[in-house]
Amino acid sequence: MWKLYSIFPDVVFSKGGGDAFPTLLAARILGIPVFIHESDSVPGRANLWAGKFAYRVAVSFEEAGTYFPSARVAYTGQPVRQEILKPLHEGSYEYLGLEKDLPTLLILGGSQGSEIINDIILAILPELVKKFQIIHQAGIINIASVEGRSKLILRNNENKDHYKVYGFLDELATRMSAGVASIVVSRAGSTIFEIASWGLPSIIIPITDTNGDHQRRNAFNYARAQACVVIEEKNLTPHLFLSEVERLQSLPETRARMSDKALAFFKPHAARTIAEEIVKIAEDHEK
């Protein structure tokens, strides 16, 4: 309360989450305008509460707007970092040590990685490297284990150089990877919007039992845009995953359509739209 009072900003912008609650509460008590943005299909508790008094509510998924007063909701989409917004094509194969005549599968498990996805990839790794090159973001905490297991699995495999595993992809490596990927495999958080901005077909594997089952609903909202295929964890097996990857790769027209739908889903001016509204609220408050 004291910190916010000492600054007394003209507007507070919040993305929600438990850490946002104290500041939002202080803003409410002090009468400072609040503007919130909800990234998921199902709002978290902090945003649900703040939505009752927020001046504006921006949402990444249209479905999320139904949880807030309609007059204050704007479907802005999700801001994506400028640093990774555009895939890099030139020099990408050389930078990543890949061949140009093989399709590339990009696996994004997030900075922390996904043990389920990691285990699936390793279970079918010999089959995958026959037909694909793989860029696998396994997660910082998982990299030692995945790297060790993959070397053992591919020890005598003639295609072992087709597999590239990283703990974390920095901004340059992310753009390079997006520039060469044929298909992206990801969870169903904010990475969906990065994939959409790249215009790449994807296989989305939502985490189960998250707050309000929001990842599952994110995934199926994106699937309704015809930009991805969803595999739920309860159905995820090595054989099914391999079959789906091979099926998509064998259908260039389907992948091209998914790419178009992904780009149509993405709202490239989301950050600017939100920023302009923040400035407008601040200016109105100053008056």
Q: Residues 109-144: pLDDT tens digits? A: 765 668 899 999 999 999 999 999 999 999 999 999
Cα–Cα nearest to 15, from 270, 194, 227, 209: 270
Query: Looking at the structure, do residues 100 and 193 belong to the same domain, yes or no?
Result: yes
Residues 90 and 191 in one domain: yes
> In this model, does residue 99 exceed pLDDT 80?
yes
User: What pLDDT, on the 0 to 100 scale, is given for residue 237?
Assistant: 95
Same domain, 153 and 22: no
User: Would the pLDDT of 266 be above 90?
Assistant: yes
Q: Is the predicted pLDDT of residue 33 greater than 80, yes or no?
A: yes
Whether 74 and 150 share a structural domain: no
> Based on the domain organization, do 114 and 183 belong to the same domain?
yes
Same domain, 132 and 197: yes
Return d(Cα 62, Cα 41) in angstroms, integer: 7
- CATH number (domain holding residue 146): 3.40.50.2000
Residues 117 and 259 grouped into a single domain: yes
Gap between the Cα atoms of 50 and 33, Å rounded: 11
pLDDT tens track for 203-223? 999 988 766 688 999 999 999
Q: Which domain holds residue 171?
A: 83-265
What is the tally of structural domains in the chain?
2
Instruction: Please give the average per-residue pLDDT across 221-235, as a whole number.
Output: 96
pLDDT band at 285 (very low <50, low <70, confident <90, very high): confident
pLDDT above 90 (res 146): yes
> 194 with 102, same domain?
yes
Distance CA 12, CA 6 (A): 14
Same domain? 111 vs 241: yes
Whole-number pLDDT of residue 208: 83
Same domain, 153 and 140: yes
Q: Are residues 156 and 193 in the same domain?
A: yes
